[in-house]
Every structure is written in structure tokens, then in C-alpha cells.
Amino acid sequence: MITRAGRSAGVWAGALAALAAGALALPAPAGAQSPLTASPYEYLGWGNPQPPVSAMSATGVKDITLAFMLSRRRCSPAWDGARALTGGSDQSAIEAIRAAGGDVVVSFGGWSGRKLGTACKSAAALAAAYQQVINAYALHAIDIDIEHGEFSSAATRRRVAAALASVQAANPGLEISITMGTSLGGPERDGASLIADAAAVGLLPAAWTVMPFDFGAPVARMGQVSIEAAEGLAREISSAYHISYAEALRHSGISSMNGRTDETDETVSVEDVQQMLSFAQTSHLARFTFWSLNRDRECAGANTTPDDCSGVSQAAYAYTDVIAGYHG
């Protein structure tokens, strides 16, 4: 009899061997990196978002993670839960990014709004919703930003893991990131449970990504703290999938926040992100990104909202410039 742990380790090892052999790779230009690797988030549904192609031209960043895909009318995907899946400004943005030589990652979830993982009442229905979006844009990569009720419910976490395992099996080469909150030392109980759930069903994300901010207590040294959270994530992955710590790092990621975070006593400086970059390069992290491109500029006046600017003194696109320097 094969134990659950043994099956998970075997599935992971087999998938890694297939990846190394190129069996699971989507057709891509020689030397191209995954769109997950270094694609800052942009949310086109609020404020005055910076044109993605302008950011690409100014910084050299190639790929953008567009947020968020939510539920509209039960288990039906829509941008921000309100804008049509295709035919609108979001599709125009995707076409412009690709025409400029880049690619997109579509992110599902986030903190606000009705999540597909909650709205879809079975793993099969949730997988079909994910697949609808993948097909609509011929996606090479997706991100599941699992937060709030979608993350805190054990049943929903299991549904998400099972749905993504089905999607991964149906789409060889599709790269998946699962993004979640973290404590200072790595994933908390819900995060550890989700990693275990994924391992149990043979789900092999290209990246498990932590969001090391909004800790709820005064935190300095945000660069070092973010590195320590990623190291804790890698230890959790290593344990769940029975792989080496070094290999686990190559399936780990950091999604930071630029400038002032949602906590008044947290600030992520450009120097902090440069420190994270050095760690990402040494560890060959699967993903290095931040929230968000919308905010990658100085605040212009008293009426500017925190969603539109970083709240710190900076050059335009200073954080995106750092991310653009990461190539896996």
C-alpha cells in the first residue's frame, strides 16, 4: 500500500522529471521565462491605473498579473465580479500587453468580493470556472490569491486544491501560483493546511507564494522579514512534498507590497525589495512580485488614495524596475 505521503512525493518527483525533460512545457520562445516569474500585479478596476504597456516600456518588465477574477451570478467568472470576461477593457489590456511582447497572469480571488472558490459548490464546477477563463485568453499561467473566507474555510481550501489539481491535469504546461498571507515565520495553520491538502491530491503548483506584509504588529526590516517568511514557506513545502529545502525554495515565491502597507507601522522601501531580489536570485525563487503597479509612483496630493500611490518618496516605477531585474 502506498501512503499518502509516499504518493505525494512520487507525484512531485515525477512531475519535476517531466518538467526537466520539457514534457510539460508550453510552446514558448527560446529562453523565455514563465509569466509568473516577475509580473507585478495591476488592478484595472479602480482609480487611475497606470497603462500596463507604459510600465513595460519604462522598466523592461515583460509580464503583468491582472487582478481580480471573481464570481458573478453564482459560479460565473467576471473581472472584479462585475465586468464581462471578454469583450471589454480588460481584454483590450491583455491584447496590448501581448502585442508589446509580454504576457499576462490572471489572478483569481483577493481580499474583497465573492470568490469563485466559495460560489462554486463543487470542485468540478470550480475547475470548469477556472477553465473558462483559461480558454478565453489561452492562458499560460494563473494565480490563485486565496484570502478571507476562501482561505479560512477548510472545506473551501480542499475544494480549491481539488479543482486546481483537475485543471493542472487537463492543461499540461499551465503554470499555477497559489498566493496567501503569512506570519513572520512562514505560513500559519490555514496555509500549512492548504499545502498539505494540495500535496494529498497531487497538485503541484509552479509557485507557492507568500504575502509578507500586514502582520498586525509593528515590523521593521521588511526586507529581512519577507525573506524569513519565504524560508518558512520553503520548509513547509519541503515537509509536505518530501523534497529538499533547496528544491522547495525553487517552488516558493514572495509577493510584497510597495511603500506603505495597510498597516500604518509598515513600510516596504525600494531597498527592502532590492534585498528580497538578492535572496530571490540566490534561491532561484519561482516567483517575485508585488502589489501593485497601480501604486508604483509618489502620491501627487492630499486627494490621492493609498490605492493609487505608494505613500513614500520614490521615482516613477521604482519598484517595478527592481522586479524587472529578476529572471528566475
Catalytic residues: 147
User: How far, in Å, CA of 140 to CA of 176, rounded?
Assistant: 9
Grouping H, G, I as helix, E, B as strand and the rest as coil, residue 260 is strand
CB 141 within 8 A of CB 36: yes
Alpha helices in 138-188 (DSSP H): 148-152, 154-170
User: How far, in Å, CA of 165 to CA of 245, rounded?
Assistant: 23
User: How far, in Å, CA of 280 to CA of 171, rounded?
Assistant: 28
Grouping H, G, I as helix, E, B as strand and the rest as coil, residue 244 is coil
Unique residue bearing C-alpha cell 487537463 = 170
CB 150 within 8 A of CB 160: yes
Overall residue count recorded for the chain in this entry:
328
Other C-beta atoms lying within 10 Å of the C-beta of residue 224: 14
User: How far, in Å, CA of 256 to CA of 253, rounded?
Assistant: 10
User: How far, in Å, CA of 317 to CA of 285, rounded?
Assistant: 22
Report whether the peptide linkage leading into residue 183 is cis, meaning its omega lies within 30 degrees of zero: no
CB 45 within 8 A of CB 80: yes
Report whether the peptide linkage leading into residue 68 is cis, meaning its omega lies within 30 degrees of zero: yes
